[in-house]
Amino acid sequence: MSEAATRRPNGLALFILPGALLFALFFFLPIGLMALMSVLTGNPVVAPKVAFTTRHYARMFDDPYYLEVIWTTIRIGLVTTLVALVIGYPLAHWMARIKSRTGHALLLMAVLAPMLTGIVVRTFAWMTLLSDKGVINQTLISLGIVSQPLKLMYTETGIVVGLVHIYVPFMVLTLTGVIGRIDERLEQAAENLGASPLRAFIEVTLPLSLPGILAGSLLVFALAISAYVTPILLGGFQIMTLPILIYQQISANFNVGFAAALGIVLLLISLMLVIAYNHALGLVSGQRELQ
Amino acid sequence: MGNSASHSPLLSSDRNAAPRQMVSASMRTASGPTHYGRALYLAINVAILIFLLAPIAIVVVFALNPTPFIQFPPVGVSLRWFEKFFASRDFMHALGFSLQIALLTTVSATVLGASAALALARGNLPGTRLIVATMLSPLMLPAILTGLALFQTYVLLDVGRPTWGLVAGHTLVTLPYVVRTTLAVLHNFDLRLEEAARNLGASPLRTFFEVTLPLIKPGVLAGAIFAFIVSFDQFPVSLFLVSPGNETLPVTLFNYLKFDLDGTIGAASVVSIVLAFVVVVGLDRTVGLRSYVKL
């Protein structure tokens, strides 16, 4: 087949235009403007004299407070990713290997139902569980296991628990796809040759699912570092992350330039993750697939 | 009120599914250590399922509990929080506004997303991989940045916080779902069907309407349903783009949550959970979940 003949755009290619226009006007233009605002001294529409400046970035990198905020965000993201992987892998493995169709459908619903429940609602659910007078503390106190309520909320641990619950479905779905593509006969062959199921898993399945582990981890990390609702509600406004700081700069300080600079930093981190994620998925599906 | 009833069958059948698996697994492998390993494997997985579903169950319990604070174990069943929720002007206005935004978003995301997917799969566009990656990128890029960037743009252009601006933001973050589900069906179906129609003399337009469109309909529908529910639950974009007095339900819930933790919020949550369950089950019944949730 000649490449030139098959690759010439046809009439259907025009259907891309409305979507492309949406992205141009409401995605690339706004992000371009955000990048521009991050290097300007003020709003060019209202302020008469506006100059280029690097002060927003300098402020971020000179002040240990802001570096600490970035580090907190990344630390919460890393721990969330790790826990989501440990919890997500067994479930993904089960989903990929379960024989019964009904069983698979039920598992899928169990994973999707939390995913399709709003972030605010799920965070609220964790507040009822983790707060000082929440379900967990009430149960522990009434059983006499603890006398004082455990400090579960307003801690990084609380944030991580909430974030894991919210983003583990993404890990499960990514891993299920990858594990499902690993030929089960490879594990059976290892077992027939005398390996225990655990050893067959560690030496066959696990290495073959590494690209999925990578893709799922990148996805969860990217989502976790951009979370706003969960860190602010479960952290009780006491733990500062990048998204919280960004919103605060807009709502409380109306410092659009600094918010834009923080946004660009978060965007660059996320972009790197997106590229790495696509690369990791490319390892799974080969180069031919579009998605 | 059938809210809790629509939940419990799902939850209980999930728990029932586990022991059944355990039985069949233990029959397959008779050897000792394997047997324990299998039991451990299932126990871990059941624990993970409980972790996933228990918080949702707790919200339902909380919503039906008559006390104004969290009481565990629950002391009774009452619908007072649902009454309070449905009687609240703020919540009802927010619910209506959210539904309106979600419907508008669904229409625009479905039309734009499905046509983009068609162009990407059949248009022989150069750089298809890059375009697909770009169109799916709002899924991974922080939605709060989409909100921030749009907010700054609307401020710079001095357009205020219009409803169309909110719908545009929602369309941007829901479009990837439609693109993905539509692309999935476009890639799965047999190209020879279209070729056959052409060979039999159908025009490209007629081929599209009589062969391609009916075949991709399930994918488009699944994408539309995802778009609706994602828009209905959307928070970070809305946070920047709503105007006071015209807030979506998640934003109203969030503002309420910052100060109060009573059963009203539980009732509001149950309403949105029920909606999500109805959508998931509906999606499974109509088009089948399996093919559309590949990440």
Distance of CA A246 to the CA centre of its chain: 18
Concatenated DSSP letters for B169-223?
A: HHHHHHHHHHHHHHHHHHHHS-HHHHHHHHHTT--HHHHIIIIIHHHHHHHHHHH
Distances (CA, A) of A120 to A181, B31, B61, B68, B91: 34, 47, 17, 20, 14
What is d(CA B241, CA A30) in angstroms, rounded to the nearest whole number? 13
Per the CB < 8 A criterion, the answer to whether B170 and B138 are in contact is no
Q: Examine residue B282 and state whether it is found in any structural domain, yes or no.
A: yes
Q: How many domains does chain B have?
A: 1
What is the domain extent for residue B213?
A: 83-292
Q: Examine residue B145 and state whether it is found in any structural domain, yes or no.
A: yes
Q: Which candidate in A74, A95, A116, A123 is best for mutational testing of the B interface (most B CBs within 10 A)?
A: A116
Q: Summarize pLDDT for B158-215 with one digit per residue, the tens.
A: 888 899 999 999 999 999 999 988 998 888 777 788 888 888 888 877 888 888 888 8
Instruction: Lowest mean pLDDT of A238-247, B36-45, B147-156, B195-204, name the range.
Output: B195-204
Q: Are A177 and B128 within 8 A, CB to CB?
A: no
Residue % of chain B over a pLDDT of 70: 85
Nearest residue to A231 (alpha-carbon basis) of A221, A222, A242, A220: A242
Q: Examine residue B34 and state whether it is found in any structural domain, yes or no.
A: no
Q: Are B156 and A43 within 8 A, CB to CB?
A: yes
Q: Examine residue B54 and state whether it is found in any structural domain, yes or no.
A: no
Q: Summarize pLDDT for B62-107 with one digit per residue, the tens.
A: 888 887 777 767 777 888 889 989 999 999 999 999 999 999 999 9
B70 at the A interface (CB within 8 A)? yes
B43 at the A interface (CB within 8 A)? no
pLDDT of A86 > 70? The answer is yes
CATH of the domain at B211: 1.10.3720.10
pLDDT of B29 > 50? The answer is no
- Residue whose token pair is 């529409």: A45
Which residues from chain B sit within 8 angstroms of residue A266, using beta carbons?
142, 145
Average pLDDT over residues A158-169: 95
CATH number among 1.10.3720.10, 3.20.20.80, 1.10.150.20, 3.30.540.10, domain A66-182+211-284: 1.10.3720.10
What is d(CA A241, CA A74) in angstroms, rounded to the nearest whole number? 9
- Residue whose token pair is 């999925």: A212
Q: Examine residue B73 and state whether it is found in any structural domain, yes or no.
A: no
| A258 or B202, higher pLDDT | A258
pLDDT of A273 > 80? The answer is yes
pLDDT of A179 > 70? The answer is yes
What size, in residues, is chain A? 291
Q: Are A112 and B13 within 8 A, CB to CB?
A: no
Residues 6+ apart with CB under 8 A from B66: B75, B76, B77, B78, B80, B263
Q: Are B236 and A15 within 8 A, CB to CB?
A: no
Q: Examine residue B20 and state whether it is found in any structural domain, yes or no.
A: no
What is d(CA A247, CA A256) in angstroms, rounded to the nearest whole number? 10
Nearest residue to A235 (alpha-carbon basis) of A118, A157, A124: A157
Q: Summarize pLDDT for A191-217 with one digit per residue, the tens.
A: 888 888 888 888 888 999 998 899 899
Q: Summarize pLDDT for A37-49 with one digit per residue, the tens.
A: 999 888 777 777 8
**How far is B245 from chain A, CA to nearest CA, in Å?**
16
Which residues from chain B sit within 8 angstroms of residue A289, using beta carbons?
187
Across the interface, which of A33, A91, A128 has its CB nearest the CB of B70? A128
Other Cβ atoms within 10 Å of A172 Cβ, number: 32
Which residues from chain A sit within 8 angstroms of residue B71, using beta carbons?
138
Q: Which candidate in A16, A199, A288 is best for mutational testing of the B interface (most B CBs within 10 A)?
A: A16
Q: Which residues of A234-250 are buried (b: 16+ CB within 10 A; e: fewer)?
A: bbbeebbbbbbbbbbbb
Q: Summarize pLDDT for A96-122 with one digit per residue, the tens.
A: 989 888 888 889 888 887 887 889 999
Q: Which residues of A67-103 are buried (b: 16+ CB within 10 A; e: fewer)?
A: eebbebbbebbebbbebbbebbbbbbbbbbebeeeeb
Which residues from chain A sit within 8 angstroms of residue B115, using beta carbons?
15-16, 18-19
What is d(CA A164, CA A83) in angstroms, rounded to the nearest whole number? 7
Concatenated DSSP letters for A65-127?
A: HHHHHHHHHHHHHHHHHHHHHHHHHHHHHHHHH---HHHHHHHHHHHHHHHTS-HHHHHHHHH
Q: Examine residue B183 and state whether it is found in any structural domain, yes or no.
A: yes
